[in-house]
Amino acid sequence: MSTTVAAGQTAPVINRPSSTSVGTIVWLGSEVMFFAGLFAMYFSLRANSPAIWEFDTAKLNVPFALTNTIVLVLSSFTAQFGVFAAERMQPRATGLSPVKWGMVEWFFLSYFMGAIFVAGQAWEYATLVSEGVSLSSNSYGSAFYITTGFHALHVTGGLIAFLLVIGKTFAAKKFGHYEATSAIVVSYYWHFVDVVWIGLFLIIYVLK
C-alpha cells in the first residue's frame, strides 16, 4: 500500500529509536541475567557456609569500600553531564569553568574516577590476600573475587569505551548525531555498572 501526500502538505516524520541504542539495551538485559546468576551463586555459597562468611567478612574494610563506591557513583553523574553536553552538540569546553565543559571534559573526569575505583579494588584485593582471603582460600574467597572481579572487568570495559568515544570525537571533522549517540550508549553502560556495584556493595559489605 502506498501513501500519497497532497500538494502543500509535509509528510509526517517518524522518529525511530537508534538501532545502536536498542542493541545496547538488549545486550544490557543479558548482562542483568549474568549478574543475577552471580548474585544467586553468592547467596547459595553463603547459605552453606555461614561460619566462613562470619569470619572472613570481618576482614573487609567497609569505610574504604564505601569511599570507593561514592567515587564510582559520582562518576555516573559526571558521565551524564557529558551526555547533556553531547545532546546540545558541545564536544569540548568553551571555558575553564565546569559549567562550560563539553562532553570530552566530563568523560575524561568520569574516566579518571572510574580508574580510581579500579585501583582501589586492586589495593583491596592485595590487602585481603595478605590476610589470607584469596580466590582459592575457601567458598567466601571464591564468591567475593568472582563477583567483584567480573564487575571490575566490566568497569575496565567502560573505561576503554570512554577513551574510544573521546578519540572518535577528536577524529571527527564535525561533532554530529553519530558521535552524540555513541556518548549516550556509553553512558547507558556506565550507569549499568554503577547500579550493579551498588547492589554488590549492599550485599557484600553491608549485609555481609
Domains and CATH numbers, the chain: 19-207 (1.20.120.80)
d(CA 109, CA 126): 26
Max Cα separation, the chain? 79
d(CA 83, CA 103): 6
Closest of 161, 137, 170 to residue 55, by C-alpha: 137
Determine the pLDDT at residue 176: 87
Using CA atoms in the order 189, 72, 74, 183, what is the torsion angle rounded to 10 degrees? -30
pLDDT in tens, 154-189: 999 999 999 999 999 998 888 888 889 999 999 999
d(CA 107, CA 175): 15
Using CA atoms in the order 75, 80, 86, 91, what is the torsion angle rounded to 10 degrees? -20
DSSP 59: G
Determine the pLDDT at residue 34: 86
- Give the residue ranges of the chain where pLDDT is below 70: 1-21
**Which residues are within 8 A (CB) of 104 and not within 5 positions of it... i.e. 6 or more apart?**
82, 91, 92, 93, 166, 169, 170
Determine the pLDDT at residue 13: 37
Q: Are 202 and 143 contacting, i.e. CB atoms less than 8 angstroms apart?
A: no
Task: Specify the pTM.
Answer: 0.85
Determine the pLDDT at residue 163: 96
DSSP 70: H
